[in-house]
Chain A
Amino acid sequence: MTTTEKPQEFKVVGTRPIRHDGIDKVLGRAVYGSDVRLAGMIYGAVLRSPYAHAKITKIDTSKAEAMPGVFAVMSGKDMPLVASGALDLGETVDDTAFTSDRVMAHDKVVFKGHPVAAVAAIDQNTGLEALKLIEVEYEVLKPVISLEDAMAPGAVVIHEGLIGDDLGEKVNNTNIAVHNRSEFGDPEAAFAKSATVLERTFIISRAHQGYIEPHASTAFWAPDGKITVWTTTQAPFGVRKTVSALLEQPLSDIKVIPTEIGGGFGGKIPVYLEPVAAVLSKKAGRPVKITMDRRAVFEASGPGPGGTIKVKMGVDDKGKITAATADIRYGAGAYPGASINPATAGIFACYEVPNVRIDSYDVVINMSKTAAYRAPGTPQATFASETLVGELCEIIGMSPMDFHLLNVSREGTRRPDGPVFPRIGNEACLEAIQGSEHFKSTLEPSTESKLRGRGMASGYWNGIGNKSSVTINVNEDGLVSLIEGNPDIGGTRTTIAMQAAEILGLPAEDVHPAVGDTDSIGYSDLTAGSRTTYATGTAAIEAAKMVIDEMKKRVAMIWETEYGNIEHVDGLFVSKVAPDHKFTFKEAAGKLGQTGGPVAMTGTVNVRGSGGGSFGTHLVDVEVDRDTGKVEILRYTAAQDAGKAVHPSYVEGQFQGGAVQGIGWALNEEYYTSDDGVMVNSTFLDYRMPTSLDVPMIETIIVEVANTNHPFGVRGIGETSIVPPAPAVANALANAIGVRLYQTPMNPGRILEALATKKTGK
C-alpha cells in the first residue's frame, strides 16, 4: 500500500469487517428481484418485436384475453405516450416521451425486442403461451444499424420528432441527437509545429454489463390508487419518478421497495418492467411479477455504446504533448443518450494537453437504447487515446511510463473539457506501478509458438456526489440501526455503516445498516457514479455527528452541567468539569428514556462537485498462441487512487472486478449484429464473458491520496478500474505480436488476421 501523506488516524475506517448482509447472501436467504413472492401474485410476460424497425399496423389481443389462466393483457393503448419533458435521474437526464415509448411501443417499434404487449397469467408458462395468441401486424421499415448509415445525408430517420442539437443549432430530420465540441488553444497550429503527429481511428464494440441477475419487477396497484413496486434497481427514487411520470400518477402514491440487486454496473438505472407490471396489476387486481429472460436482457436492456473514435496527438522532440484532438461517435441505440460527455471528460484526462479539441456525437440507431455501463463512455474513448499513446511511444522511442510521467495531469491541470483538477492521484498511481514487483520483473521471452508482451494504460473516472439521506436510530442497548436509500451492490451497507461507526466510536458490527424503501428514508440519488460510499457515507457522517451532539445534550442533563462541558473522546462521553464523570455510548444510550426520549437523527447531503476523481494505472503481461490466436493473461496489476480505502477488501474487489470486465471487453465481448438489426449472440454461451479459467489473480495496489472533498478523504472508486484494461491489453498485444489492433474485441480471429498481415507485409 502506498501512502503519500500523513494519514488521519482511524479506528474503523480501513479495517475489514464482515459485511452485514453477508450471512443472508451465503445462506441463499437474501431476496433478489425475482425472489419476491406475494399472496395472490400472478406472472407477467412481455411480447417483444421481432423487427428492429417497423410500424405497428394492428394489435389484436382478444384470443389471449380469452385464454384460461390469463388475468390481463395490455399494449401501448393501455399506457399512453406521455408528453416530452425532462426526467432527471440524478446522473443523466432522459426524456419522458422517449422513455414512455421505450417501455411500451406505440406506433412504431425501433429495436428488436421492443415491448409491444404484455400479459399477466396464473403462472409463467401460461403467460408465455398467451403471448403466442396475440396478433401483431407490422409494416417493416429499413433498419438503421451502422453509425455510417445513421449519419449519412438522406439517412432513414428513426424519430421524426427528434430535434438534433448540432453545436447549439436545432436540426430536423436527423439521427444525430447531439453534436458537442470542447476546445481550447489552437490544435492545428500546434500540430504543425510538432515533431511527431499520429492519428488513428478505433472501433469499439457495444458491450453489455452482463449482470448475472436478469431484471425483475413486481407491482401492486391498489384500488385506492397507491402503487407498490418491488424491483431490482440501482435507483429506487429514480424508479418512483419514472413510474410517476409514465403512468401520470402522483409521486407520493408510489412506494418503491428495492430488493437485493444481483449486479447492475449502470444497467439497472433505467426502468423497463415496473410500469408494465403496474398496469397489468391494475387490470388484474393482483400483484404482478415480471422477470426478463436472458435473451431480452441482451436484446432489450441497455448495454454500453459502441462507436468510432478518431484520435490525433502531437508531441515535441522531448515527447511533451503539444496538442490532441478527438472525434467520438457513439451509437446511442433507439433513443438519444449515449454517454458522450464523460467520454469527453475522460479521453485525455491523464495528460496535460495545451491545445485540444474534442467533438462528440450521440447517434440514434435501431438497437436497444444504451445505458450507463461502469464509467459510462470512458473505456471506449480511453481505448482509443491510450492505445494511440502506446503506438506514439513506439514511434518516438520512449517508454510509456516515461511518457505518462512527463505529461501527467496534476492538481491545477485543466481537464480538456474545462474543469481544473483538485488534488488527484494520477502521478501516485504511475509511481506505484513503477515501483511494483510486476513492473520490475522481466517478461519471459517469446518462443516460436508463444508470443509474449507487456502493456500499460491509465484511466480516469470523475464520479459524482449528489443527494443522499441516512437515518440513525439509537437503540436502548447502545447499538444503532442505520437506514440508507442506496441499494447495496457490492458491500456499501458496510462501508456506509463503518463511516458512521467511526464518528460514533462504535465497532462496525454495532451499527446495523438497512436499505430503506422510498417511504422510509429521505431522498437518495442512485447507486451509481461511484457515489455511494462517498456521498451516502458523507450523509452517514452527518447523521452520526448529530447523534453525538444530541447525546452530549442528554449527558449534560444527567450530570446537571452545561452542554459545552461535555466532550466525546475515544468513544466516551466525558465531563470537562468533573473528570470522574464518564459514560460509554452504551451507558448513555441506556438513559435516553429519562432525558427526553429516543434519539433518531437524519443526515442529508447534496454533495457538490465530483467524487474527487480516481485515476488508475494497469499493467498486463499477455501470451499469444501463434497458431490459434488465443490470448492468455499471464499477469495483471491494477493500481488506483482510493483517497482513503474504507474497506480495503471491497476496494480491491472493485479493482479486480473492473479489470476482468475490461479484459472481457478487450478480448471477447461484442454484439454480433445482423444487417437487419438482430443480435445473433444473445446468450452467455455466445456472448463470451470471462470465466475463472480465463484470468489470473489480479494484483492490486491501493493508492491513497486524500480527497479534499470528503471528511475522511474517501474517493469514489467503483468505475475507474474498467477504463485502463482494453488499451493496456492492446498495448501488450502489440508488444507481443509486433502489429497493432485498432478494434475490439481483439479476438483470436482478428489476431490471426493481424499476424497474417504482418507476414505478408500488406
Chain B
Amino acid sequence: MTQTPEQSVRKVSVQCTLNGQPTEFLAAPYLSLLEVLRETLGLTGTKEGCNDGNCGACTVNVDGRIVDSCLMLGAEAEGKTIETIEGVAPAGGLHPLQQAFLEEAALQCGICTPGFLVSAKALLEREPDADEPRIRLWLAGNLCRCTGYDKIIRAVEKARDEMK
C-alpha cells in the first residue's frame, strides 16, 4: 500500500520568529513557505495568485528582505525572522501604510493589498525618502489588476511623508 505524499516523507521541525513571536512548526520538506503559512499555520492573509513568483500576492518579509513565499520552502524558514501581513499593524492600530491605503482608496478588490503593504513597508524601512520612480521600481514585483497603480503609489507617498 502506497502512502500519501505527506506520509511518505519525514516532516522537518522548524523554529523561526513569525510576526514577533517564537514559532515552531512541522512541515513536509517540499511544502512552500506559502503553503505552510496558509495551510499549516492558518495565516491566510498571504495570498496565492500564481504560485510561480510572478504576481507578488504572497510577499512576506524574511530577515528584512521581501520574498515571494511561494518560491521559498517552509523548511528554509529555520532561524529566520518572518513578517506577514498579519504582523504589519501594531496592536490596536494600523500601520501608516494601511491607513494611507484606506484614505487614498488604494485598493479595489483587495487581493493584492497584503503583498503591496508588506513590500512597501520594507521599502520605507530601508529608504524613508523613496521617490515615485523608486517606489514604482520597488513595487514592480507586485501585480495589481484593478487600480492602475496610481492610488497605490500615492498612498505609499502619503505614508512616507507621515512617517517622517
A: which residues have CB within 8 A of B? 16, 18-19, 21-23, 25-32, 34-35, 37, 67-69, 121-126, 129, 209-214, 260-265, 291, 293-294, 489-491, 647, 649-650, 652-653, 656-661, 683-685, 689-693, 695, 697-698
Give the complex CA separation of A29 and B142 in angstroms.
19
Given A212-B57, A653-B108, A685-B54, is A31 in contact with B44 using a C-beta cutoff of 8 Å? yes
Contacts of B151 in A (CB 8 A): 649, 652-653, 656
Given A126-B5, A693-B136, is A260 in contact with B110 using a C-beta cutoff of 8 Å? yes
- Which of A26, A34, A684 meets B48, CB within 8 Å? A34
Give the complex CA separation of A407 and B113 in angstroms.
43
Determine if A491 and B98 form an interchain contact, defined as CB atoms under 8 angstroms apart.
Answer: no
Given A212-B112, A660-B148, A695-B148, is A26 in contact with B57 using a C-beta cutoff of 8 Å? no
Interface of B is mostly: loop
Report B150 CB to chain A, min CB distance, Å: 5
Contacts of A491 in B (CB 8 A): 105, 108
Determine if B2 and A294 form an interchain contact, defined as CB atoms under 8 angstroms apart.
Answer: no
- Which of A23, A126, A210, A659 meets B102, CB within 8 Å? A23
Determine if B144 and A212 form an interchain contact, defined as CB atoms under 8 angstroms apart.
Answer: yes
Contacts of A652 in B (CB 8 A): 105, 150-151
Determine if B4 and A211 form an interchain contact, defined as CB atoms under 8 angstroms apart.
Answer: no
Give the complex CA separation of A650 and B146 in angstroms.
11
- Which of B7, B52, B105, B145 meets A265, CB within 8 Å? B145
Report B144 CB to chain A, min CB distance, Å: 7
Determine if B111 and A263 form an interchain contact, defined as CB atoms under 8 angstroms apart.
Answer: yes
Determine if B145 and A212 form an interchain contact, defined as CB atoms under 8 angstroms apart.
Answer: yes
Determine if A650 and B143 form an interchain contact, defined as CB atoms under 8 angstroms apart.
Answer: no
Given A685-B54, A692-B153, 16 further pairs, Cβ under 8 A: A32-B47, A34-B44, A121-B4, A129-B4, A213-B47, A214-B49, A263-B111, A263-B146, A294-B55, A656-B148, A659-B148, A660-B147, A684-B52, A692-B152, A693-B136, A698-B148
30 sampled A-B residue pairs with Cβ under 8 A:
A18-B102, A25-B107, A26-B117, A27-B85, A27-B94, A27-B98, A28-B88, A28-B114, A35-B44, A68-B2, A68-B3, A122-B6, A123-B6, A124-B39, A125-B5, A125-B6, A126-B5, A209-B145, A263-B146, A294-B49, A656-B151, A657-B108, A657-B148, A660-B147, A661-B148, A685-B52, A689-B145, A691-B139, A691-B149, A692-B140
Report A689 CB to chain B, min CB distance, Å: 6
Give the complex CA separation of A223 and B49 in angstroms.
34
Report A495 CB to chain B, min CB distance, Å: 11
Interface flag for B104 (CB, 8 Å):
yes
Q: Which residue of A lies closest to B3 (CB)?
A: A68
Given A126-B5, A683-B52, is A262 in contact with B117 using a C-beta cutoff of 8 Å? no
Proximity bits, B112-139, A CB within 8 Å = 1, else 0:
1110010000000000000000011101
B: which residues have CB within 8 A of A? 1-7, 28, 30, 35, 38-39, 42-52, 54-55, 57, 84-86, 88-89, 94, 98, 101-105, 107-114, 117, 135-137, 139-154
Determine if A212 and B143 form an interchain contact, defined as CB atoms under 8 angstroms apart.
Answer: yes
- Which of B55, B108, B142 meets A692, CB within 8 Å? B142
Q: Which residue of A lies closest to B115 (CB)?
A: A212
Give the complex CA separation of A701 and B81 in angstroms.
45
Give the complex CA separation of A251 and B86 in angstroms.
39
Determine if B85 and A28 form an interchain contact, defined as CB atoms under 8 angstroms apart.
Answer: yes
Give the complex CA separation of A749 and B140 in angstroms.
23
Give the complex CA separation of A265 and B111 in angstroms.
14
In order of increasing CB-CB distance, the 7 nearest A-B pairs are A28-B45, A262-B111, A660-B148, A28-B85, A25-B110, A69-B4, A656-B148
Determine if A649 and B104 form an interchain contact, defined as CB atoms under 8 angstroms apart.
Answer: yes
Q: Which residue of B lies closest to A688 (CB)?
A: B54
Give the complex CA separation of A123 and B35 in angstroms.
11
Contacts of A698 in B (CB 8 A): 148, 150
Contacts of A31 in B (CB 8 A): 44
Report B28 CB to chain A, min CB distance, Å: 8
Report A652 CB to chain B, min CB distance, Å: 8
Report A124 CB to chain B, min CB distance, Å: 8
Give the complex CA separation of A687 and B151 in angstroms.
24
Contacts of A693 in B (CB 8 A): 136-137, 140
- Which of A19, A209, A260 meets B105, CB within 8 Å? A19
Give the complex CA separation of A23 and B139 in angstroms.
22
